[in-house]
Amino acid sequence: MPTILRSTGRVLLMHWPLLLAWFLGGTLARYGAIELSGFAGAHWSVGGLLLLPLAVLARLISFVGMFLVVRDGLRELQSIAPLPESGRERRATFVQSLLAGILPFFAVYAAWGMLRDDTEAYAMRALDVHTGLGWQAFAEAIENGTSVPEPAEQWSALDAGIGPWTLLIIAAAFALRWAWKRWQSGLPRAFALVAVYLEAVWVFFFVWTVKDITVAVGEWASHRAAVVWFEGLRDAIAERVAVLGAIWDGVAWLLGQAGGVLLQPLAWLTVAGVIYGQAIAVEKLRLAERYLAENRFGGRYVAGARARYAKVPEWTRKRMGDLGKEFTSRFQPVWRSVRLMWRAGPIPIATYVLLYTVVLALEPLLRTAIIRLVGPHDLYSFWIVADGLLFLLVPLIVEPVRIAVVASAYDATLGALRRTEGRAAAAAEADPDADPDAVSGSHAVAEQVSRDQDPSVEGSIGKRANDG
């Protein structure tokens, strides 16, 4: 805990104004993107939804900026991959961090209801504009003496839903993003911004589609006989043995609370790992060939699949490999970040979760303090007008601290892993006859990603990391 606290204090002391500026800029840009998408959605719902990812992207840009701002205060990270000196290398780092962070950030954004809040704000804004257009058409019809247009019943800017438009948008955005990555060397650098937008679009609609499918599947499963029987079993147990029913409810409540307390900080630590993982990477995880032997773990099925795949024409295999690599490359940074947390050990992670929970507890305390400081006022003439501005002070205070804690925790886990692997490497050198599997991966932490780095920054970020 002292390590994380010292690192948090150091980065806040060094960069508090910049953290505040990045967060405030992202908040304002998100508001502007929702207003713009709502105005467009009032005229064409699909067009509004195509602009809505800009709101999420604005928040992501602000968080990436906040994480990269504090990078020079993270000593463990700096010792492995120093901050690039040239502006070109830093811009390349920023773009690569954006592209890598879109998928995990959208997942976190949707899981904690922030994507739902954005879509609701967009729908309300579009409805306001659409209603205004309807009243304007009504007034013009009365003035000109023409027939009054019939109002649309239950209009919503979210009517697009899952359908051909959604699937077409996902496919088109993904294909264009893939084409940019393949031929980016011959395109102007400004096209990187288009690539970021395309990545945000296909991930946004993909997450939205998955969410709708999950809801539909959940509703379908809730009426299946097995689920109904299980719920009836729980009720029957609670009726006959009250103690067991209370224990059942207590365990369910505990699991729900533990999930909320643990998952959010770990998810944000994963996002930080993806962003910082563009500078370093732990070793790749590969399944040893001995585990793919035909007599182990269903290896014969793997061998059979490989044999059948080898019969596919080479051109088809190459195209399938390109598309598969393009899709799975989104998940590799996430996997590396999760693996880093796993190998760092429980103590740094538990310490970080505790500090993160304390920071989150500041939000209701600060809200209560603001209410008490301002004192009693009329609800309609004061609070409805001023509450947004007053309560904006809460995230302006909490968010820089939270990002500093997350970044410091990543640095602490990186340091813990380096020390652990250093001891493992020393033990391996002292005992040459030790089992190689027991000390495998001991050289993982210092391994830079110059050969794994995206081609667009291989010569900049990768070289800088190797110099570290």
Cβ(446)–Cβ(421) below 8 Å: no
pLDDT of residue 400: 93
Going from the C-alpha of 87 to that of each of 112, 245, 458, the distances in angstroms are 35, 62, 16
DSSP 8-state assignment for residue 290: G
Going from the C-alpha of 260 to that of each of 16, 24, 210, 405, the distances in angstroms are 28, 26, 21, 18
Closest CA to 176 of 202, 158, 155: 202
pLDDT of residue 406: 92
- Residue 131 tokens read as 């209603």
Full residue range of the structural domain in which residue 345 is found = 2-467
pLDDT tens digits for 127-141? Answer: 888 888 877 777 877
Alpha-carbon dihedral 295, 299, 301, 304, rounded to 10 degrees? -90
- CB count, 10 Å around CB of 262? 15
Burial class (CB in 10 A: 0-12, 13-18, 19+), 412: buried
- Cα–Cα distance for residue pair 342/349, rounded to 1 Å: 9
- CB count, 10 Å around CB of 330? 16
DSSP 8-state assignment for residue 454: -
- Cα–Cα distance for residue pair 264/111, rounded to 1 Å: 9
State the sign of the Cα–Cα–Cα–Cα dihedral 373, 376, 381, 383.
positive
Instruction: Give the count of alpha carbons within 13 A of 113, CB side only.
Output: 1
pLDDT of residue 294: 46
Phi and psi of 45, rounded to 5°?
A: -65, -40
pLDDT tens digits for 169-212? Answer: 889 998 888 888 888 878 887 888 888 899 899 888 888 888 87
**Interacting residues of 266 by C-beta distance below 8 A, sequence separation 6+:** 341, 349, 353
Q: Which helix (H) or strand (E) is 99 found in, with range?
A: helix 87-111
- Cα–Cα distance for residue pair 108/334, rounded to 1 Å: 12
pLDDT of residue 443: 45
Residue with tokens 């809200």: 367
Q: What is the pLDDT along the chain (468 residues), one digit of tens a residue?
A: 688 888 889 999 999 999 999 999 999 999 999 999 999 988 888 888 899 999 999 999 999 999 989 988 888 888 877 777 777 888 888 888 888 888 888 888 888 888 889 989 999 998 888 888 877 777 877 777 777 666 666 677 776 656 778 888 889 998 888 888 888 878 887 888 888 899 899 888 888 888 878 877 777 777 777 767 777 777 777 777 777 777 877 777 777 767 667 788 888 888 888 888 755 543 333 334 444 444 444 555 556 666 666 666 766 666 566 556 555 555 666 666 677 777 767 788 888 888 998 998 898 999 999 989 988 888 788 888 888 888 888 999 999 999 999 999 988 888 877 676 666 666 766 665 554 444 444 444 444 333 333 433 333 334 333 343
Cα 102 to its chain centre, rounded Å, is 6
pLDDT of residue 278: 59
- Cα–Cα distance for residue pair 244/254, rounded to 1 Å: 15
pLDDT of residue 403: 93
Helix axes 393-430, 2-43, angle to 10 degrees: 130
- Cα–Cα distance for residue pair 370/394, rounded to 1 Å: 9
- Residue 204 tokens read as 């946004």
DSSP 8-state assignment for residue 288: -
Going from the C-alpha of 242 to that of each of 71, 233, 245, 251, the distances in angstroms are 54, 13, 5, 14
Cβ(336)–Cβ(273) below 8 Å: yes
- Residue 366 tokens read as 């600060």
State the sign of the Cα–Cα–Cα–Cα dihedral 72, 425, 463, 93.
negative
- Cα–Cα distance for residue pair 344/356, rounded to 1 Å: 18
**Interacting residues of 92 by C-beta distance below 8 A, sequence separation 6+:** 84, 456, 457, 460, 461
pLDDT of residue 177: 87
Phi and psi of 443, rounded to 5°?
A: -105, 20
Residue with tokens 């995230």: 395
The tally of domains found in the chain comes to 1
- Cα–Cα distance for residue pair 226/17, rounded to 1 Å: 56
At residue 78, the 3 state secondary structure works out as helix
Phi and psi of 152, rounded to 5°?
A: -70, 140
Instruction: List helix spans (H) across 145-293.
Output: 164-183, 191-221, 225-240, 242-276
